[in-house]
Structure 1
Amino acid sequence: MLDTTGTLHKVDIGEFITEAGATIPNVTIAYQAWGTFHGNNLIVVEHALTGDSNVVDWWDGVVGPGKALDTDKYCVLCTNALGGCMGSTGPTSLAPDGNHWGSRFPALSIRDLVAAEKQFLDKVGVTQILAVLGGSMGGARTLEWTLLYPQLVNAALVLAVSARASAWQIGIQTAQISAIEQDPDWQGGDYYRTEATPHNGLAAARRIAHLTYRGELEIDERFGTTVQPGENPLGPYRDPHQRFAVQSYLDYQGVKLTERFDAGTYVTLTEAMNRHDIGRGRGGLNKALAASQVPTMIAGVDTDILYPYHQQEHLSRNLGNLLAMAKISSPVGHDAFLVECRQVSRIIRHFLTMADANGTDANMYFI
C-alpha cells in the first residue's frame, strides 16, 4: 500500500534486468506521495535529470491543496528514478559484495527507468494510473510509459522533450560526462570509498548544462558584459579569479549541484538520456508515435535551446492519439517548465479536465 503522507519511503522491488540484459539484484525504489489514494485518482510525476521524489519542493507552485496538481482531489506520486542518488538504487548504493556499485553499475536507458517504476507500482499494488506527466528526462519517461504500458495509463502530459535524443543533445550531454570523467578524483567512477569526490568535474558539467537550461536572451539581459563586483576580467593578463558576472553565476550553479547530487548518478542518468529513442525496435519514430493510443498532451517552451519547440511539434504531428498541444512562452528557456508555474498550471488544469473526461475532448488544441 502507498503511504500518502509525503514521507520518503524505500521499497524493495527485487531483481531488475535492464533493456541491455544486465542484472541488478535487490533494487530499491524511493518514493513520496501526497493526497488520498482512491484507486483511480493517481497522478505519477516524473522528475528531470537532477530531480528527486520530493515534487512538492521542486514544483511547489504546481503541487498541493488547491493547486493544479490538487492533493485534495488527486493522489500525487513521485519516485526517485532507478540510478538516482536520493534513495533509489544507483552507483552510490552498495552492491551484494558490500562495496559501492560505482563503475560496476549497469548502463541504463529511459525504458529501464520506466520498467523499474512499473515493477515498483506492481509491488505496492497500483493497477491504474489516471495520468503520467513530466518534463525533460521526466517527459522522456512519460513518453515511454505510453508505449510500454498503455493499458495502465489513462492520459499523459509530455513537457519539453523530444521523441529521441538528437545528435546535438548527445554531443552536449557527452561533453558533460567528459568533464566529470576528466576530473582526477573521478577515479574511473570508483571514488566512493575514498575521501575524494569529483566535485570539480560535476560543477563543470553543470555549468555546461545550465547554459542549455536557460534562454540566451534571459542570460544576456541579466548579465550582459557586467563584471563580478570586486573583480576585473579586463586586466592585462587572464586570471580565472577575475570574472564576468555570468561566470560567477555559473560557478554558483555548479557548486550548488555538488552539494546535493552525485557525479556517478549524473553520468548514469545523462547516459540514459543519450539512449532515449522511442523508435528503437519499434519501426522508427513516426511508426512508434502513430502506434500510441494513450491520449497524450504535448507542451514545449518557445525559447528552449536544449529541446527546441520544433521537437514538440514533431511529436504533436505524429502521435496516434494527440489530446492537445500547448506552448509555454518565456525568456527562461528549457527551465520554464519548472519556473513558469502560472502557465504550466493552466496547461495541467486543461490536461486534467480532459484526462478526467477520458479523452472525450481530444483534439482540443490551444496555444
Structure 2
Amino acid sequence: MVEERYLKVRIGDLPLDSGETLPGVELACSVTGRLRPDGSNLVVVCHALTGSHHLWGPSVEGLPEGWWNGVVGPGMAIDTDRFCVVCFNNLCSPYGSTAPSSLGPEGRPWGMRFPLVSCRDVARSQVMGLRALGVERALAVVGGSMGGMVALEMALSFPKVFERCVVIAAPMRLYPQAIAYNEVQRQAIMWDPDWREGDYYPDPGPVRGLATARMLAMITYRSENSFVSRWMREVAHGDPWRWDGKFQVETYLHHHGQELVKRFDANCYLYLTRAMDLHDVLAGRGGSPEEAFGGFSGRDILGVGISSDMLFPNWQVEEVVSSAKRAGVNGWYEEIESPNGHDAFLIDLDQVDDILRTFWRRTGMG
C-alpha cells in the first residue's frame, strides 16, 4: 500500500518580489510514490488558502484530513500507483513551512515583521523545494483556488520544469471584489483586541476575529442555491425573534469559524490573503497575455471553472485559457456543473476526477 511521507526541505534564503530576502526558508511537504530521478512520473499539487500538504487519507498528527480524498490516491485521477505526487505546504502557512508564526532571527515568532509575499514567491519557493529534492522537471502541476494561482505561477515562471498545468477555480489576476472580501476578513482579525499588532504569541490570539473572517469566507465559498437547498429559512434552535435563536445558516457559519481557529494562525491568514491580492501573472511580464504566457507556448494548460462560483466566476478561469491560447499554449476549458459554489472542486470529486482523466488522455498521460 502506497503511503504519503512527510518531509522538511531546507531551501535557504528566498528572494522575494518585494525586493526583500527571506532567510533560512523551510518547506514542509508530502511525497507519495517512488520518484524517478528525472521527474518523469512527478505530479505537483498546490493547496488552497487554509489547506495543507496532506492530500489524502485520514487526519494525521497536526494535520487535518486529506483535502483531496477521491482525486488523489491509488486508482484516482492523480493515481499514486502510477505517479509520484508531491505537495508543499505553502510559504506563510502554519503547517510546518516558514511563516509569520515561525521563529524569526530575533528568536521569537516573526509576527508582522515577516515580509509580504506573493503567489509568485510561493511558486518560486516550491520550485526551489523540488530542486532540493533533486527534481528538475515534472509531468504536471495542479492546483485549486489559491493553489491554482500558485500552480499557474509555477508553470509561467518555470516553463522548462512543467509540461502541463491545471488551474481549477482560480483567475490569472485577482479582481477587485475578491480583494474586497479579503480586506474585510483581515480587518475582522486586526480589529480584535487580542491581535495586539500581531504580537500575540504564545497566546491564542484574535480567535474571534479569525472566526469572523472565516464566516465571511464561507459565504463566498458557497452559492445561494446551496444555502437554499440545504436550509432555506430553517431554524436551528430557539426563537429567531430573540437573540438566542439561530437560523441553520448562522450555526453553519459559526461552526466553520470555530473549527478554523482550532487549526490555523491568524497572522498566517493575513499574509496568505494578501498574497492572493498580489496575484497578477501579467505583472512584471510585459503586461500582455502573449508575453506572460509566451514561455509556456507549445505546452498544455487546462482551466476548470465552476458554474456557480461567486468568488472566482467561471469567466475568470476562461480568461486564463483564452490568454494562454493567444500565446500559442495548447489550452482547454472545462466546467464543473454544480450548485456548491467555489467549494465544488472539494465536493464534486467525481467531476474533478473525470475532467483530470480526460486531460491526461488528451495530453498523453492517460
TM-score tier (shorter): over 0.9
What is the alpha-carbon distance in structure 2 between the residues aligned to residue 318 and residue 33 of structure 1?
A: 32
- Contact 1:278–1:285, Cα closer than 8 Å, also in 2: no
Separation in structure 1 between the aligned mates of residue 48 and residue 3 of structure 2, nearest angstrom: 23
TM-score, with normalisation over the residues of structure 2?
0.92
Match of 2:316 among 297, 311, 323: 311
Gapped runs of 5+ residues in structure 2? 57-65
Distance 2:361 2:20 in 1: 41
Deviates more, 1:35-44 or 1:151-160: 35-44
| In 2, Cα distance between equivalents of 1:22 and 1:226 | 51
1:272 maps onto 2:272 in alignment? no
Provide the rounded CA distance (Å) in 1 between the counterparts of 2:161 and 2:293.
Answer: 19
Among 290, 297, 300, which residue is 2:305 paired with? 300
- Equivalent residue, structure 1, for 2:63: none
Q: How many residues align?
A: 349
Residue by residue over 1:249-294, the C-alpha shift from the partner in whole angstroms, topping out at 9 and shown as x without a partner, is: 1000100111111111111100000001011111225334552423
**Partner of 1:161: helix, strand, or coil?**
coil
Indicate the residue corresponding to 1:163 in structure 2.
172
2:205 corresponds to? 197
Unaligned runs of 5+ in 1: 359-367
Contact 1:164 1:277 in 2 (8 A): yes
Check conservation: 2:156, 2:293, Cα contact below 8 A.
no
Partner of residue 25, structure 1 = 23
Mean Cα displacement is larger for which, 314-323 or 202-211?
A: 314-323
Residue identity matched to 2:47: H
3-state SS, counterpart of residue 79 of structure 2: coil
* Equivalent residue in structure 2 for 1:208, among 216, 230, 233: 216
Within the candidate set 214, 221, 234, 1:226 is matched to 234
Q: Deviations over 1:213-258 (max 9, x none)?
A: 01110012212111112x11124xxx2x321111111000100111
Matches within 5 A, 1:51-62: 51-56=51-56, 57-62=66-71
Q: Is the 2:119–2:149 contact (alpha carbons within 8 Å) kept by the matching residues of 1?
A: yes
Q: TM-score w.r.t. structure 1 length? A: 0.92
- CA RMSD in angstroms comes to 1.5
Change beyond 3 A, Cα 1:357–1:33: closer
- The match for 2:162 among 153, 160, 164 is 153
| SS, match of residue 164 in structure 1 | coil
In structure 2, the CA distance between the partners of 1:95 and 1:225, relative to structure 1 (3 Å rule), is same
Which of 325, 339, 344 matches 2:333?
325
Measure, in 2, the Cα distance between the counterparts of 1:346 and 1:12.
36
1:40 counterpart = 2:40: yes
**Aligned partners of 1:355 and 1:211: how far apart in 2?**
36
Q: Which amino acid aligns with 1:184?
A: P
Q: Is the 8 A contact 1:130 1:355 kept in 2?
A: no
Question: Contact conserved, 2:89 with 2:97, CA < 8 A, in 1?
Answer: yes
CA distance in 2 between partners of 1:270 and 1:254 (Å): 16
Is the 8 Å Cα contact of residues 171 and 316 (structure 2) preserved in structure 1?
Answer: yes
- Give the alignment of 1:278-293 within 5 angstroms: 278-291=281-294, 292-293=296-297
1:110 and 2:113 aligned: no
